[in-house]
Amino acid sequence: MFSSRMHFSRRSLGIAGALSIAAALPAVAAAGEAFAATHTPLTDSRKKEIAMELVSSAENSSLDWKAQYTYIEDIGDGRGYTAGIIGFCSGTGDMLDLVELYTKNKPGNVLAKYLPALRKVNGSDSHAGLGSAFVSAWHTAAKDSVFRSAQDSERDRVYFTPAVSQAIADGLWALGQFCYYDAIVMHGPGNDKLSFGGIRKTAMGKAKTPAQGGNQTTYLNAFLDARKAAMKAEAAHDDTSRVDTEQRVFLKAGNLDLNTPLKWKTYGDSYTIS
Look at residue 7 in the predicted model and tell me its pLDDT.
37
The verdict on whether 238 is a catalytic residue reads no
Question: What percentage of the chain reaches a pLDDT higher than 90?
Answer: 77
Catalytic-labelled residue, pool 44, 49, 53, 59: 59
Catalytic-labelled residue, pool 53, 74, 77, 170: 77
Q: CA-based diameter of the chain, in Å?
A: 54
Q: What is the DSSP letter of 42?
A: T
Please list the rounded mean pLDDT of every run of 10 residues in the chain (274 residues).
Answer: 38 45 48 61 97 93 95 91 94 96 98 98 97 98 98 97 96 97 92 95 97 96 97 83 97 98 95 96
CATH architecture of structural domain 15-273: Up-down Bundle (1.20)
Look at residue 235 in the predicted model and tell me its pLDDT.
72
Q: What is the pTM of this model?
A: 0.86
Look at residue 111 in the predicted model and tell me its pLDDT.
98
Of 223, 220, 231, 225, nearest in space to 258 by CA: 220
Q: What residue ranges in the chain does DSSP mark as E strands?
A: 72-74, 81-83, 88-89, 262-266, 269-273
d(CA 244, CA 240): 6
Of 154, 200, 218, 156, nearest in space to 25 by CA: 156
Look at residue 2 in the predicted model and tell me its pLDDT.
37
Of 19, 9, 266, 254, nearest in space to 158 by CA: 19
Which tens digit of pLDDT belongs to each residue from 195-218?
A: 999 999 999 999 999 999 999 999
Look at residue 68 in the predicted model and tell me its pLDDT.
95
The verdict on whether 156 is a catalytic residue reads no
270 bridge partner residues: 265
For residues 83 and 72, the answer to whether their CB atoms sit within 8 Å is: yes
d(CA 109, CA 115): 11
Look at residue 34 in the predicted model and tell me its pLDDT.
55
For residues 10 and 92, the answer to whether their CB atoms sit within 8 Å is: yes
